[in-house]
Amino acid sequence: QSALTQPASVSGSPGQSITISCTGTSSDVGGYDYVHWYQQHPGKAPKLIIYDVRHRPSGVSNRFSGSKSGNTASLTISGLQAEDEADYYCSSYTRSSTWVFGGGTKLTV
Amino acid sequence: QVQLVESGGGLVKPGRSLRLSCAASGFTFSDYYMSWIRQAPGKGLEWVSYITSSGSTMYYADSVKGRFTISRDNAKNSLYLQMNSLRAEDTAVYYCARGRGYSYGPLGYWGQGTLVTVSS
């Protein structure tokens, strides 16, 4: 159950786009389209922003999008806003019927 | 609206036990898989365990297998985590979260968490 690999930090200016990668193996990210992304602001509980690789829950801005290629999933945030500054975590279902999270990425706007 | 409220956290000595609870409301509790996720101070999220909607099957992270037990009482709309043989590395905020009616569903709702500190 090794954690998925995410960059520790990314940054961007308001209005720009950024992409956060999430790399796993064929036993998790590469094997299933059950990759989800969570946003966490300091001191708050995580919030689901992308599920099943590319789908947005109701109420989540369409500036958030997800994709996957092979063993790597990606979260793209377009039109960066100050409120997007947060930690972002990917998670994937695994062959063992368990879950694994990425190490998290701190986004600075 | 969906509400998840954790309780039971606190300061506990290494080797001792603690039981966390999560009170659910605003949805049909017995229809959903439920999970526990933890976050050590200043660290990332770590999945701990999940339980099926009926409570018949449970899965655990290797780091807690054999020490922690997840359970639920659908009549009381409550989720539990029994933590035994606690270690310093179990110190974390523990969140309960609601999945869907199947194992690979996303965690769409989270509680605010309860802090467990393991220290002598």
- Give the pLDDT confidence score for residue B31 in this predicted structure: 96
Which neighbouring-strand residues pair with A99? A93
| Pairing verdict, β B109-110 and B92-98 | antiparallel
Taking CA atoms, what residue in B is nearest to A98? B59
For residue A81, what pLDDT is reported?
A: 98
User: What is d(CA A49, CA A56) in angstroms, rounded to the nearest whole number?
Assistant: 6
Say if residues A86 and A75 touch (Cβ distance below 8 Å).
Answer: no
> What residues of A are in contact with residue B41 (Cβ under 8 Å)?
none
Q: Does A7 touch chain B (CB under 8 A)?
A: no
CB contacts < 8 A (A, B): 60
Cβ-contact A64, A79 below 8 angstroms: no
CB of B120 within 8 Å of any CB in chain A?
no
Contact A97 B95 (CB under 8 A): no
Can you tell me which residue has the tokens 């796993």?
A: A24
Say how far residue B2 (Cα) sits from the centre of its chain.
Answer: 17
φ/ψ (deg, to 5) at A40: -135, 120
pLDDT at B103: 79
Q: Can you tell me the mean pLDDT for A73-96?
A: 97
pLDDT of residue A2: 87
pLDDT digits (tens, 9 = 90+) for A10-53: 999 999 999 999 999 999 999 999 999 999 999 999 999 999 99
Cβ within 8 Å of B, A 30-89: 32, 34, 36, 38, 40, 45-48, 51-52, 57, 87, 89
Contacts of B95 in chain A (CB under 8 A): 45-46
* Residue A98 predicted with pLDDT over 90: yes
SS (H, E, C) B14-68: CCCCEEEEEEEECCCHHHCCEEEEEECCCCCEEEEEEECCCCCCEEECCCCCCCE
Cβ contacts of A40 on chain B, cutoff 8 Å: 45
Of A3, A46, A104, the CB nearest to B110: A46
pLDDT of residue A1: 72
Which residue in B84, B99, B115, B112 sits closest to B34, CA to CA? B99
Cβ atoms A21, A73 nearer than 8 A: yes
First and final C-alpha spacing in chain B: 40
Q: Which chain A residues are Cβ-neighbours of B61 within 8 angstroms?
A: 1, 98
Report whether A99 contacts A90 (CB < 8 A). Answer: no
Q: How confident is the model at residue A74 (pLDDT cuts 50, 70, 90)?
A: very high
| Mean pLDDT estimate for chain A | 97
Dump the DSSP string for A50-109: EBTTTBPPTT--TTEEEEEETTEEEEEE-S--GGG-EEEEEEEE-TTS-EEEB--EEEE-
Instruction: State whether B47 and A45 contact (CB < 8 Å).
Output: no
Please state the separation of Cα A52 from the chain's center in Å: 11
A49 near B114, Cβ under 8 Å? Answer: no
Q: Which residues of chain B have pLDDT under 50?
A: none
